[in-house]
Amino acid sequence: MIVNYKKLNPVGFHLLKLLPDKNIRQIILYGGSSSGKSFSVAECFLILQLQEGKNMLVMRKVGASIKDSIYESFKAAAEHLGISSLFQFKDGIKVIKCIPNGAKITFKGLDDSEKIKGLESVKRVFMDEWNEFEEGDYKQMKLRLRGMEGQQLIYAFNPIKETHWIKKNVFDIERWHDVPMTVEIGGDVIPPELTQVKSMRMNAPKSMIHARTGEIIEHPSDMVVIQTTYLNNFWVIGSPDGKYGYYDEQCIATFEHDRLNDPDYYNVYALGEWGVIRTGSEFFSSFNRGKHCRKIDFDPRLPIHISVDSNVLPYISCTFWQVYTSNGCDIRQIDEICAESPNNTVRKSAKLVAKRLKELAPEKVFIHGDASTRAANNIDDEKRSFLDLFIDTLQKEGVEVVDCVSTKNPSVPMSGEFINAIFDHILPGLDITIGENCKTSIEDYMSVQKDVNGAILKTKVKNKITMQTYEEHGHLSDTFRYIVTDVMREQFLLFSNRRKRNLYARDGVIHFYNPDTDCKYSREIVYAMPNINGKFALVHGKLCGEKWLIVNLMLRETSSTDEIAEILVNVNSPQTIIECAPAYFRFVRDLRKEIPNVRAMNETSDVGRRIAATSDFVKNHLLFNEARLNDDAEYALFMTNLMDYNRDTGDSIEASAVLSGFIQFVVKFQFQSEQPPKP
């Protein structure tokens, strides 16, 4: 069969070389998106099926995703190669039949490992989006793919999580060496510029005992890893000679935008490196791996601070820190221990910590952690706490520690804001750096999400083998919070007292607009609450571009509906929304005689939750009038009440209540309809 090499990407050339090699059992393709991984597999499967006449299997974790993704890629690959007429595509059952020899490519989804059956007649299995499979699926596939010489497993995925089982239990357990990217097919050496990928490695040979003869034999290298990026796809950047392929300017512009604005996303989806994808709702939203992580060496002149979280699943967490105080306060994480089963008991985890401390040999050790570790437990006969047992074990191992565990844990939302402010360099003299070796910690800090109240959202997952349910992320982040708020206690308390007045501050300050600037307003809304703790509250906003300019604010001690009506009529907004109890609905109907476009909305049942959910919108989309703040007593009174709101006690909630209602309304209706439904 003659193959037009101008139809292939670099990874395609490597696959045509590796797939016929009977010594190669597994081929792993990983890297960025748009790098041609899956499409190249499709091309090479089709070519080899014509040559060999062997059955092949293509798998996705979820079968429903096959038809519109990988199956369509195979159809497109056949069209691209100009060989569609040699195959029969059975869309209904998702099977591709090779007409000349009858061999089939079957597409299946995998719900559980028990569905991996009947692989004796299959030459190759392609597991697309490999990171979505469970480790048990992978192990079962390796065991069941047998019965034919030269059977192979091919995988393709984007390396999203550095703590993923693929990284820990496949990549990290092998010894790898780089291999040449030279490809020779049919006696012809392919030009090197056509076979260049980001990296290409092979595992080391292994000595093993022959199962039948008992002799020690050398098992050859059987696994190849190829890393690719969009720069290795000629249908994104064009061929080296510019004569074929395609230069996708929009795709490249998108990657460049990510490089400048979202380096973590770019690192994974463009460069194909291990990492974590940000969602925008991270608890440590200001943590940036590129800015805040670097190589950190242990400083023998300084003591070590360890911070411990006692949750046993998925592991008992312990982080190691050193503190520099010569110029402010600089906290640096130098190590981590995640004591997984069977070491996730208090004494076994403490022994791991003691071992590491003895290796480092600091002059002094301080211990920090969860205040609940002080509580007595029923496991120990003497009712000793987790902390007691942990310290006792360290002492028996020859490590003396100073107990610095607080009696009360810091506020979760406030400690998160404090750490984010340090990362943003808002607090002079304070700094935090994470050692690049602390990979599990880094992933946790990047992954942990914020709930509606600003605390850590600890999503539960279930281990499919043990059936145990646990919180996947947040435990290392808790040790992070404990050490920072302990070591920087004075600064944290000062920040807390100030921050309670600045729920709506972005970068530490309230942001204003210039009223002298000409604006073209696309929307104008007045949002009012006639009775919030006996006060009338009003927000008057105008939409200029993507920002809401708050032109007027009012918080007045009145219950007079006549006075409220007069205020609203004088404002004369094109749209007025009144959030109120049903007792005010008649007042709203009467008001329509003077303000035609006025509507009532039922009072929210949970004002505090709404305030928490809308505070970020205030920071990013609302601008206040500084001139009115200085000159208008009612505007200033509203702003003072707004900044005095205490989330813990609910004090001074009135301004925040009406402002959160205004935000919920504009977010919900600004792109859907001009008016909400009438009550």
Q: What average pLDDT score do residues 39-67 get?
A: 91
For residue 260, is it within any domain?
Answer: no
Q: Is the pLDDT of residue 103 over 70?
A: yes
For residue 452, is it within any domain?
Answer: yes
> Do 536 and 433 fall within a single domain?
no
Could you tell me which residue, 112 or 191, shows the higher pLDDT? Answer: 191
pLDDT confidence band for 662 (50 / 70 / 90): very high
Q: What pLDDT, on a 0 to 100 scale, did the predictor assign at position 502?
A: 55
How many domains does the chain fold into?
3
pLDDT confidence band for 382 (50 / 70 / 90): confident
CATH at residue 190: 3.40.50.300
> Do 346 and 437 fall within a single domain?
yes
Q: What pLDDT, on a 0 to 100 scale, did the predictor assign at position 380?
A: 59
**pLDDT tens column, 527-582:** 999 999 999 999 999 999 889 999 999 999 998 999 999 999 999 999 999 999 99
Structural domain ending residue among the three candidates 201, 216, 237 = 237
Q: Is the pLDDT of residue 631 over 80?
A: no
Q: What pLDDT, on a 0 to 100 scale, did the predictor assign at position 607?
A: 93
Please confirm whether the linkage preceding 303 is cis (ω < 30° from 0). Answer: no
**pLDDT tens column, 465-521:** 677 888 888 999 999 999 999 999 989 887 775 654 455 666 555 778 888 888 889
> Do 483 and 528 fall within a single domain?
no
SS3 state of residue 78: helix
- Within 13 Å and on the Cβ side, how many CA atoms surround 283? 30
> Do 449 and 584 fall within a single domain?
no
pLDDT > 90: what percent of the chain? 63
Closest CA to 446 of 314, 263, 315, 309: 263
For residue 280, is it within any domain?
Answer: no
For residue 284, is it within any domain?
Answer: no
Cα 644 from Cα 143, distance rounded (Å): 64
pLDDT confidence band for 109 (50 / 70 / 90): confident
Mean pLDDT of the chain: 89
- Is 571 exposed, middle or buried (CB count within 10 Å of its CB: 0-12, 13-18, 19+)? middle
Q: What average pLDDT score do residues 246-273 get?
A: 89
Residue 606 tokens, joined: 């949970």
Could you tell me which residue, 412 or 332, shows the higher pLDDT? Answer: 332
Could you tell me which residue, 336 or 669, shows the higher pLDDT? Answer: 336
Task: Identify any residues that bridge with 322 across adjacent strands, giving them in sequence order.
Answer: 332
For residue 678, is it within any domain?
Answer: no
Q: Is the pLDDT of residue 459 over 90?
A: no
DSSP type of residue 171: I
Q: Is the pLDDT of residue 263 over 50?
A: yes
> Do 555 and 631 fall within a single domain?
yes
Largest CA distance in the chain: 101
Q: What pLDDT, on a 0 to 100 scale, did the predictor assign at position 678?
A: 46
> Do 596 and 621 fall within a single domain?
yes
Q: What average pLDDT score do residues 141-161 get?
A: 92
> Do 391 and 421 fall within a single domain?
yes
Q: Is the pLDDT of residue 379 over 60?
A: no
Q: What pLDDT, on a 0 to 100 scale, did the predictor assign at position 49?
A: 96
pLDDT confidence band for 673 (50 / 70 / 90): very low
CATH at residue 566: 3.30.420.320
Which residues, other chains included, contact 358 with Cβ-Cβ below 8 Å and sequence gap of 6+? Answer: 397, 398, 399
For residue 356, is it within any domain?
Answer: yes
Q: What pLDDT, on a 0 to 100 scale, did the predictor assign at position 470?
A: 81
Q: What average pLDDT score do residues 123-129 get?
A: 96
Closest CA to 559 of 588, 530, 528, 601: 530
Cα 170 from Cα 166, distance rounded (Å): 5
Q: Is the pLDDT of residue 462 over 60?
A: yes
Cα 22 from Cα 24, distance rounded (Å): 6
User: How distant, in Å, are the alpha carbons of 215, 268, 270 from that of 245?
Assistant: 52, 24, 19
Q: What pLDDT, on a 0 to 100 scale, did the predictor assign at position 670?
A: 62
Q: What average pLDDT score do residues 384-403 get?
A: 95
> Do 20 and 154 fall within a single domain?
yes
For residue 340, is it within any domain?
Answer: yes
Structural domain ending residue among the three candidates 459, 475, 499 = 499
Confirm if 600 and 665 have CB atoms less than 8 A apart: no
Cα 553 from Cα 544, distance rounded (Å): 17
pLDDT confidence band for 671 (50 / 70 / 90): very low
Residue 460 tokens, joined: 């539960």
> Do 177 and 200 fall within a single domain?
yes
> Do 424 and 321 fall within a single domain?
yes
> Do 23 and 52 fall within a single domain?
yes
- Is 20 exposed, middle or buried (CB count within 10 Å of its CB: 0-12, 13-18, 19+)? middle
Structural domain ending residue among the three candidates 445, 476, 499 = 499
Q: What pLDDT, on a 0 to 100 scale, did the predictor assign at position 226?
A: 97
Q: What pLDDT, on a 0 to 100 scale, did the predictor assign at position 115?
A: 60
Q: Which of 224-228, 281-285, 647-651 has the lowest mean pLDDT?
A: 647-651
- Within 13 Å and on the Cβ side, how many CA atoms surround 414? 20
Domain with 494 in it: 289-499
For residue 204, is it within any domain?
Answer: yes
> Do 384 and 351 fall within a single domain?
yes
CATH at residue 365: 3.30.420.280
Q: What average pLDDT score do residues 383-395 get?
A: 93
Cα 431 from Cα 428, distance rounded (Å): 8
Q: Is the pLDDT of residue 674 over 80?
A: no
pLDDT confidence band for 118 (50 / 70 / 90): low
pLDDT > 70: what percent of the chain? 93
Q: What pLDDT, on a 0 to 100 scale, did the predictor assign at position 677?
A: 45
